[in-house]
Amino acid sequence: MPLVSMARWRRFIFALLLLHPVAWLCCAAQTSLPSVTIRQLLEVRQGQAGQFEVRIAPVHRLQPIILRLACDLGTGRAVFDDGSTEKTLTESAMVSVLGVTSSDLPGALTLTAWTEGALRPAATAFFDVLAANPQPRIFFEGFDVTGTHQSVVVGQRIQLTVTLHPGFPVQSQQWSIGIPGDYTGGFLHTAFHGGPQPVVRGGSTTTFYWVTPGNDRRVIYRLQLTDGTTSTVSVTFDVDGPVAAHVQVDSAKVVITPGADNSSLLGIMGAGISFHAGYSPPEGMLKNFVWVQLIRSDAITVNQNGIRLHCVPKSQPVAGIGAGLDTDFPYDTHNPTFDNPRIALSSDVQAYSRVFHARMYLLWKPGLTNSIAVPLGFVDWSFSGEVGLQDAKTNTWILKSGHGGANNPAEPFVRSHSYPLWNSLVPYTEVLTCN
Amino acid sequence: MRRETSRLSLLLLLSAVGLASARPVGETLTLSIAAPEVPIRESNLSLEVTMTNRTAEPMTLFKTNPGCDFTAEVKDANGRAVELTQTGVELSRCQQRLIVGRRILVTLKPGESTDESYPIDLYYSLPRPGTYTVQLSREIPSHPKLLSRSNEVVLTLAN
């Protein structure tokens, strides 16, 4: 067993020099009592001997010093090499201490040095008896779940922690969670940026969220010490989540409708295209609907006085094809939800055309504290329309062509656990950006 | 390729009425903001607004862009008004919309509520640390020129 480094040495050796108060009182009249310092030179492991240096000064005095081993709290136990917990020294010496039972509380064992008749120790060293081999335990929500099966739901925060004795010289700690698509480190959703977050796999704690349901998901913790010793423990999750998710998309007829104050609008008839979701939530949990829509492209062509302008809705930061998060996160929380990409037709323009592609995501939130929404799937849909001005005085328009609806009407909903990803916001405020 | 950006000054004449001309209304539509009492460390704070129909009749409202639907009154700890950021200003230009994005019609039965988020940091970029009071208001489409105000909440934002 190598000697511990000075840095480590300082970390868990607490040598406390306490001069007997009598020593102070008597110093003026008599010779002082010896001072004692204790340094731990070698860790004490269960079944193995550690080493302490006990220095007694001044060296010419022959006053005996009594060393005592004790455990103030917890399970630790240690003895001297003769099996006792008390030993007498008359001069400085190296002392071996054998670890009997590993300690569960840091610094709970003490090696104290006493002068005869003293009420307080002359020196105290706090130390630990480390387990012969590290035996990490995984904790989840305050419970030791090492080697157990845990039932959770998708979106629930899974924070696993291993508490190691601080005396272990750790080389690395790694968590293995499984197939990357089955979990995420979080779901960022600001106006300008959104998407899944990475999981921190190194260290004594990892936090993640299951995204897909499934049983027997084993999460493994691997510990390696600087001396090459390794230890592996695991916990297994059964992950519940919504099943049979589907979204019905109603047909979307493109029309020109009158707006306010003699204006006309090109859009979808009525409230617009509708998305009606259904699924079976996990037992005992509620349904909820988190809709997020990403604009994939939105191109508007305007013919004005012989000039052809290619426009996109303004986005922040500017996205070339008008792509980004539609308006806000979430898009809606009602079921069904609707969209109607309408465009106002101005009588000083002779023709408009618009081609709009979007993806509407359906997500579900478990509603637990610190939980996140998880995706259930999406609908790709589009809208296109081309109109020409018939009468500028009455702002009357002719619909030349128009189409709206799911890209795949037969199976509009694609079950997917991929999160929506965006780096731009399409607020649909202000005017168009054209070139 | 030379790109020349121009803006179409085409107005979409929606039925919107400037909020400045609206007047407050009592118990028609209540707006309620829930704010945590503990310091908030979230960097992109969104306020959850609950809108409740307090009339005896069904009420309809549209959810469009939060910057168009709501007007916020934000004050710092000294009572000074916090101005919209440049981004906030741009995101609140709702009168010149040529194309309409989200426009969800919500019908609230008497006593029924609906929630909406207002990403306040997007519009005001509130410096941390700081304490702010926030009050939201919005007009009621079915009661033109009437304005409903939320409770005033105190946000304690930490670094």
Q: Where are the domains of chain A?
A: 6-130, 138-240, 243-434
Helix (H) or strand (E) holding B134, with range, is: strand B130-140
Q: Collect all residues of chain A within an 8 Å Cβ-Cβ radius of residue B49.
A: none
Instruction: Tell me what the mean pLDDT of segment A159-176 comes to.
Output: 91
Tens of pLDDT, residues B2-38: 333 333 433 333 333 333 344 555 568 999 998 878 8
Mutate to test the interface with A, among B6, B7, B8, B122 (most CBs of A within 10 A): B8
- pLDDT for A148 equals 98
Residue of A nearest to B113 (CA): A334
Fold of B25-157: Immunoglobulin-like (2.60.40)
Residue A435, number of CB atoms within 10 A of its CB: 12
Instruction: Tell me what the mean pLDDT of segment A84-94 comes to.
Output: 94
Tens of pLDDT, residues A213-251: 999 999 999 999 998 989 999 999 999 999 999 999 997
The region of weakest confidence among A22-36, A380-394, A419-433 is A22-36
Quick check: A19 pLDDT over 60?
A: no
- pLDDT for A254 equals 96
Judged by CB atoms closer than 8 Å, whether chains meet at B101 and A311 is answered as: no
Average pLDDT, chain A: 89
Question: Would you tell me which residues 42-101 of chain B have a C-beta closer than 8 angstroms to some C-beta of chain A?
Answer: 44, 63-68, 87, 90-94, 96-101
**Residue A32 pLDDT class (50, 70, 90 cuts):** low
**Residue B147 pLDDT class (50, 70, 90 cuts):** confident
Tens of pLDDT, residues A196-212: 999 999 999 999 999 99
Residue of B nearest to A425 (CA): B91
- C-alpha distance from A341 to closest chain B C-alpha (Å): 6
Quick check: A17 pLDDT over 80?
A: no
What type of residue is B21? Answer: S
Fold of A6-130: Immunoglobulin-like (2.60.40)
Quick check: A3 pLDDT over 80?
A: no
Judged by CB atoms closer than 8 Å, whether chains meet at A328 and B12 is answered as: no
Is any Cβ of chain A less than 8 angstroms from the Cβ of B27?
A: no
The residue among A74 and A415 whose pLDDT is bigger is A415
Tens of pLDDT, residues A248-306: 999 789 999 987 777 899 999 998 999 999 999 999 999 999 999 999 999 999 999 99
Give the whole-angstrom CA distance, residue A434 versus residue B9. 11
Residue of B nearest to A300 (CA): B99
Instruction: Tell me what the mean pLDDT of segment B105-133 comes to.
Output: 92
Domains A6-130 and A138-240 share a fold: yes
Q: Are strands A143-144 and A138-140 parallel, antiparallel or unpaired?
A: antiparallel
Specify the CATH architecture of the domain A138-240. Answer: Sandwich (2.60)
Q: Which of A2-6, A57-61, A179-183 has the highest mean pLDDT?
A: A179-183
The rounded percent of chain A whose pLDDT value lies above 90 is: 73
Quick check: A103 pLDDT over 60?
A: yes
**Residue A63 pLDDT class (50, 70, 90 cuts):** confident
Quick check: A383 pLDDT over 70?
A: yes
**Would you say B66 and B117 are in contact if contact means Cβ atoms under 8 Å apart?**
yes
Q: Collect all residues of chain B within an 8 Å Cβ-Cβ radius of residue A342.
A: 99-100, 103
**Residue A134 pLDDT class (50, 70, 90 cuts):** confident
- pLDDT for B28 equals 86
- pLDDT for B20 equals 36
- C-alpha distance from A193 to closest chain B C-alpha (Å): 11
Of A311, A316, A295, A314, nearest to A425 by C-alpha is A316
Quick check: A336 pLDDT over 70?
A: yes
Quick check: A102 pLDDT over 80?
A: yes
- pLDDT for B142 equals 67
- pLDDT for A40 equals 96
- pLDDT for B18 equals 33
Alpha carbons within 13 A on the beta-carbon side of B128? 12
- pLDDT for A205 equals 97
Quick check: B144 pLDDT over 90?
A: no
